[in-house]
């Protein structure tokens, strides 16, 4: 089964939503670790959150690039 670029971009947007769910989960855990003064756990969660934010940013960049891939060609033709 072949997918179009738009369909692939939708898959990437879905992956970004999945990572966002993980971010929400770990933000809650970070708050709990702060309240418990568990500094080691706080550090571990911050590291994970940093990785999740980087992954989400990369995934969204790819999703928008796939979604708008043909737009740059149309702009060139119109000029």
pLDDT in tens, 38-76: 999 999 999 999 999 999 999 999 999 999 987 765 554
* Alpha carbon distance, N-terminus to C-terminus of the chain: 36
Higher pLDDT, 41 or 77: 41
Ranges of each domain in the chain: 5-78
Model confidence pLDDT, tens digit, residues 9-40:
999 999 999 999 999 999 999 999 999 999 99
pLDDT > 70? residue 79 = no
Q: What is the pLDDT of residue 4?
A: 86
* Stated pTM of the model: 0.81
């Amino acid at each position: 089964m072949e997918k179009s670029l738009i369909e692939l971009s939708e898959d990437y947007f879905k992956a970004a939503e999945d990572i966002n769910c993980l971010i929400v989960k770990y933000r809650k855990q970070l708050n709990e670790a702060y309240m418990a003064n568990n500094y080691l756990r706080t550090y571990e969660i911050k590291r994970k959150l940093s990785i999740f934010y980087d992954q989400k940013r990369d995934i969204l960049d790819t999703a928008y690039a796939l979604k708008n891939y043909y737009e740059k060609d149309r702009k060139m033709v119109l000029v």
